[in-house]
Structures are given as C-alpha cells and as structure tokens.
Structure 1
Amino acid sequence: MTDADDTPMTPPTEEAPSSDVARGSGVALWKQIAERIEADIAEGRLKPGARLPTEAELAERFGVNRHTLRRALATLTDQGFIEATPGRGTFVKEPPLRYPITPRTRFSEIVSGEGRAPGGRVIGSRIEAADADIAAALKVPPGTEVLRLDMLREADSVPLTIGTHWYIADRCRDLDFIAAATGSVTRALEALGLGDYRRLETRITARLADEEERELLALPPGRAVMVVESINGDPKRQPIQFTRARFSADRVQLVVKN
C-alpha cells in the first residue's frame, strides 16, 4: 500500500521524532518511521517515560496515513521500545523496575525508592472459605473464614501487579475498608497493629497472562506474568497474609536478596 497523504510535515524538535521519510527509496515508509523513532529513543531525544504524540499528530508529522503509522508503532511495541497504556497514551518504555524480595518487602517503599510514584486501588473484596492451599499457608483448618482482598498496584500510573491477598477474617476485620481508603495494604495492616510483618516464604513461577490480567495490566495478547506467591508473618512468625501477585513480566525485575 502506498501513501497519498501529502500533508505538510511539522519541523522536528528536540523532543519529537524527526519527520524525514523518503518515498521511493525502496524502504517501506512504516519501517523508516520505526527507525526514526528508535533512533530518537537511542540518542536521548525521546527519554524513558516520555509520552509520544497522538497517532493523528504522528501521521501528520510523517505525512502518512494511520495504517502506515500504526504498523510502525506496532513494530516498536513488539521490539520493546514503546508501550501503549489504554486511557493514557503511548510512552517510551521505562526500564524494568527493580523489585527486591527481602524479609521486609513493601510495594510503596520499593517503587518510591526507584524514583517513581506508587499507586494502588482495591478492585474487590469478600469473605470466603479457605481452600486447602490458603488454609495451609495461613495454618488454619480448611473452611476457615478468610478475607480476600484484590488490589491493582501501579508505578507512575502504569499498572505493575495484581495482588490477591488472604487474611484470617477474625484477625483482620475492616482491613479491606482501610486499604480502600489508603490505597495501601501496609497502612491497613499498620492500622490493625500488624505493620511489623515479615516475609516467611516466596514462590515464583511464570505463565501467559489470562484475559482479565491482560485487561487490568494493559497487556497485549501473548505477554507473560510472573506469579509470586508469598506468606507474611507477624514477629512470632505466625502467618497473617497469603498473597498471590501477578506481575507484568516485562515491567518488573524481581531481585531476591539473601
């Protein structure tokens, strides 16, 4: 397909990709556009976290139609240079966030320590009966009432992980309401006098993201998640929290500290 759009191109600036594409050069226009944007990222004109112009603006700048522009952006996405987040736009991809797993693992502290803004929200909560796995992790009989809390956690408004947490219901009444108000599991546990919790066990696996995870984490089909199951305990090493977190595999680097 050839492009018939001869809209005048906006002169390049230091912040924006250059717009020099050559028709009739034998190199497809979409490939030239991808190479120009890749060069601007490599040479620092587009920095990690920078928001790209809209598709309409880029199509006008390069003098091409949306079909050609989208093919270039899809190639850059597949190569890991950029990432589209629904409702926010397309951004130069940040390097993976280092996420240390230590005896004292705190999401907000880790994200803040990496120079990013932590965020979180409760996406669901309910009382349910502990199945065999949850009961074993929390050291309670199967069928014990547990509070299930589902949270989406972000860094700079980019979703990083979906965490499903289980607590012994009798010990953590109203934790879900406190977490919803503060956006933080740690603050909620502190309010209940359980803030000094420590990591007792961590298990890490990986698999393809399911449909719900792709939607919540804004992932394209075929992307993987790292599944981190952890048990946290009080100072007496009694389990108070069992968590199954699903991290976007290409946005987070898990670092296990000995």
Structure 2
Amino acid sequence: MRFAANLSILYGHLPLLERPAAAASAGFAAVEMWWPWDGPEPDDRNVDTLEDALEQAGVQLVAMNLIEGDMRAGDRGLLSSPARAQRFRDCIDTAVGFAERNGCPVLNALAGNREAGVSADEQYNLAVESLWLAANAAQRAGLVVALEAINRHEAPHYLLGDADTAVALADAVNAATGLNNTGFLCDLYHHGRNGEDIPALLARHAARIAHVQIADTPGRGRPGSGELDYPDLFGRLAAHGYDGWVGLEYEPVRNADIDFDWLPSLRPRI
C-alpha cells in the first residue's frame, strides 16, 4: 500500500503553507487535502504560494476536496444546496487547474446534507447537475471526480450514507455525462463506523474505487487503534486490483507530536 498524509486533519494545527514540508519531513512522498482556501475563487497569489509549498517540499498531491463548506461546523458539501451550489460550481475551474498543474488525479466532491424545506428529488437533481459540470471539466484535464459516503453517526443528514448510495450517484452522473470519470472514494473508516460489511462492499465496488482513505473505528484514531483489521482489508483491496494511494485521514492524539512508526504493521495480509 502507498500512503498519503492528509494535510487538513493530520497537520491542521500548522499554517497551511508549512504542512507539505511537515509531511515530507515525516517521510511522505504524497499528500491529500480538503479544500485549502476560504472561498471558491481564491486569488492567484494564494494559489501560487500553495503550489510553491508543494513543489518545494517535493510531495505529490494525490487527492483534493472540491469546496465543501465549513467541515468542522458540520458542512458536508455544497453541491446539492439550492442556496450554495453556485459556490461549488464557482470552484470547479480553480480546482481542475490546480489539480492538473500539480499532478493530482482525484477531486473529491462531498454531496451535502439534506436541507429543510427542500425535497429530496430537488437536491438529488441539483447534485447530478453540479457533478455533471465537475465531471466534464475534470474529463478535459484527465481527472476523476470521486463521491464519498459519510457515516450516519457523524453526519445523519448527509445525502450519501453508505457505499451503495454513493456508487449509485456516481453511476447516475456517468450516465448523464456519457463519461466514466465519476467514481467512488472508499473511506474505510466511514463504512466501518456504519457497520457495513466491508469485504462484501469491496467485492461489489472494487472496480469503481478511485481513492481510499482510512482511520480506525470507533474513535477515528490511527489505523490499528480500533476495531478494523487493516492488514486483512488491504489484502482484499490488493486482491481486487487496487493499486492507488491510501489517504491517512485520522485524528492524531497529539497534533504537535505525530509519528508513523506503526505503519509497517499494516502490511497487507494476502
């Protein structure tokens, strides 16, 4: 397995521009991140300085969220919100351009929460429309748009509560676009927290997985600290042909003292 450090959660205690170097110092060659700017259309200086930080650190960006709102405050995406979907659409050109220049193959699009006073059909159709725009822009740059399920304990109103629902929306977007570049971001923490049968969902959806993220259940700590058998799950991913990056998206116990001596213990069991 090839591991990428999530800059937004592992290194969120550091200023943004210091995070790539911190990940490189810990031995990572690849990183991923949530949307790194305050708004959908950051000025060129803010974009350029982040590109410089990645380049100077010598790390590859392998996945990035499209604008998702305030994650810490409970937002889980804007693309299906009638009042805020335009902010999602406004970020697409910046995201695609940034990803293309930095060799980032995956853009993660969080689907959003259900909203009072808006029908489920209206939000679903708006999601497909927003993702249609993102997928077409991504296709021109050779990128993949990924859709992620989030567990019902943390986000009970999120539109995509399990793997099957996320893959079904990806299928709907691919049917609408006539493309095949909308896939599934498989976050094993969320599926484990849901109590889903992870070996079975990997068997069903392995061909659709665009990216993998991990943490352990139930506390979202480092893999190996909870209930999930990661050597077994990694063995299954490898057996199904997954050879992409695995993002470390877990909550560190001590933000200022992060070590990764435990990583060798996750060698796939095949």
Per the normalisation by structure 1, the TM-score is 0.25
Higher strand proportion (structure 1 or 2): 1
Higher helix proportion (structure 1 or 2): 2
Answer with 1 or 2: which has the greater Rg: 1
Per the normalisation by structure 2, the TM-score is 0.25
